[in-house]
Structure formats: C-alpha cells, structure tokens
Amino acid sequence: MDSESTVTTCYRHPKVECHVRCTRCERYICPDCMREAAVGHQCPECVKEGARSVRQARTLVGGRVSAVPVVTYALIVLNVLVYLAELARPEVVDRFSMVGAGLVGPDGGHFLWTDPYPGGFSPEGLVGGEWYRLLTGAFLHLPPTEGTFGIAHIVMNMLALWNLGRLVEPMLGRVHYLALYLLSALGGSVLVLLIAPGDSVVGASGAIFGVGAAYYVLARRVGADMGQVNRFMGGLLLWLVVSALVTSWEGHLGGLLAGGTVALAFAYAPRNGRRTVVQVGACVALVVVLGAAAAVKVSELTGGGIPQ
C-alpha cells in the first residue's frame, strides 16, 4: 500500500507529479517532457541520443544532403553584386580580371606584354605577382558597353548557373560543389595563361563549364537516361566552339577539363573510410598541377624573374 501511494515526479521537473515512463530509460516524464515515439513516449535526452545514432543521409559522393542549393544562390548573388560594383567603378575590371601578362603605362593605360618592355612601364597580371586574378576574374563579366554581347554575358552565365547548379549541387553536397566550382574556375584561368597569356578574360563560364562536366559524369554514375544528358552536353560543346568567336574558349575548355577531373574523383572514389582522403587528395593534386603549370609559364614569360 505504501509503495502504491508514493508520488512519482518528473526527473527533469521534480515538482511535477507524473505517471508515464520513458520507453528507453524508464524514468518518469511529465507532459512537457514527453516526445512521441514509435511506441509510447521518450524523454528529451533519449530522443537526442537516438538522433545521434541515426546514420545521416549522404549524397552520391559522400556529402551532406541539402534540398536547397544555397551555394548556387550565393554564387549568383555574389556575381551580380560584383557586376554592380563594375558599373559603379569600371576600373574594377582592369584590376581583377584574369590577365597572365600585361603592362601598365605611366598614364595608367593597359597594354599587351612585350619582353623586354619599354621603360616606364610596369608588369601587370600574374607576371606582376597578382596571383589572385586566377580566381577573381571568374566573378567579373563584360560591362554593358562591350558591344552587342555586353550585359548578355552575365545574364547567360547566371541563367546557366541557375539551371545547372540546382541539379548538381544536391547531387554533390555544398562543400563538394563549391570545391568543384572554384577548381573549375582555376582550371579555366590556368589554360588562359598557358595559351593566351596576354588576354584579359572575365566571366564565370569556365566554372560553369566545369559544373556542366560534373553533371555529365554524375548522370553516368547513377545510370540516368543519357539521351537528355547527351543533348545537353552537345549544346555545351557547341557553345565551346562558338565561344571561340565571342569570348575565351581557353577558359571554357580549361574549366570543362578541371571540372570533369574533379567530378570523376568525387563520383568514383571508393565507398569506404578512404573516400574522403581520395577526394581531398585529388583536389590537392589538381591544385598542385595547375599551380606548377602557372608558375612555369610565368617564369618563362619573365625569364626567371620580373625585369626591373
């Protein structure tokens, strides 16, 4: 009789009388602490413990699943903000575009690289130590004053990024997708340096071509219907050819190759404890190869050192 008359209280709220036990730890819990479970109720601590033990869903390449392509949206916003900065201060393009080898005259004018170059001129671009241009150029676009292409440059690129990013980012996960995008941009800039070091190149096209290559690789990896994918890649390759007349085909091809390489490493890395090591190792190796190629080319342009 005494045991039946004993008042039981919630282990989290000792002043609250209750008669329900947690189905996992069997401690008494009050209505405020009850969490609906498959059978009965559980306390908040057991619910948290159970959540930690549940295996988190992962993408094909091992990234965290994300239904909202946040990185794609952020990249679009960043490109648009930079474009507005260009409109407000046009000199931003000359300062941050991808230039491998150029010259700045005494009056601030920009000229093609010559070796040796006239007195009073200073080196510009990667030969001048401005290595940041390898990435910053991928966030710039042609101003409206650049002929018929003008503002269509950023509009077309952002539309392509909007359509492709919403497909590829959920398949990769945010971190993998951002790494792919930046490495594709880097690959495009390095090929520009190797083939056309005197050109001033802007645009996200190289990075977008890399995302397009990733879409193709991932579609094959998951066994998707390749009819539509092949038509898409045909259009992408056609634009690669047409771009030779309008923008920088070197940047597009470099981004395509770099993005395809990264996507292959992501998609076909072994599904075990070494997957992350293989993926990170592939990205680091690509950065080393691209960095070494860029350094060798700049050394050739400057004869081993920037002339004084």
Secondary structure (H, E, C), the chain: CCCCCCCCECCCCCCCECCEECCCCCCEECHHHCEECCCCEECHHHHHHHHHHCCCCECCCCCECCCCCHHHHHHHHHHHHHHHHHHHCCHHHHHHCEECCEEECCCCCEEECCCCCCCCCEEECHHHCCCCHHHHHHHCCCCCCCCCCCCHHHHHHHHHHHHHHHHHHHHHCHHHHHHHHHHHHHHHHHHHHHHCCCCEECCCHHHHHHHHHHHHHHHHHCCCCHHHHHHHHHHHHHHHHHHHHHCCHHHHHHHHHHHHHHHHHHHHCCCCCCHHHHHHHHHHHHHHHHHHHHHHHHHHHHCCCCCC
* pTM assigned to the model: 0.78
Ordered by where they begin, the domains of the chain are 1-54 (no CATH), 70-302 (1.20.1540.10)
pLDDT tens track for 19-34:
888 888 888 889 889 8
User: What whole-number distance in Å separates Cα of residue 258 and Cα of residue 180?
Assistant: 8
Q: For residue 194, which of 96, 304, 292 has the smallest C-alpha distance?
A: 292
- What is the share, in percent, of the chain residues with pLDDT greater than 90? 39
pLDDT of 54: 56
pLDDT of 243: 63
Q: pLDDT-based confidence at 121, cuts 50/70/90? A: confident
pLDDT tens track for 202-256:
999 999 999 999 998 988 887 767 777 777 777 777 776 776 667 778 999 999 9
pLDDT of 81: 96
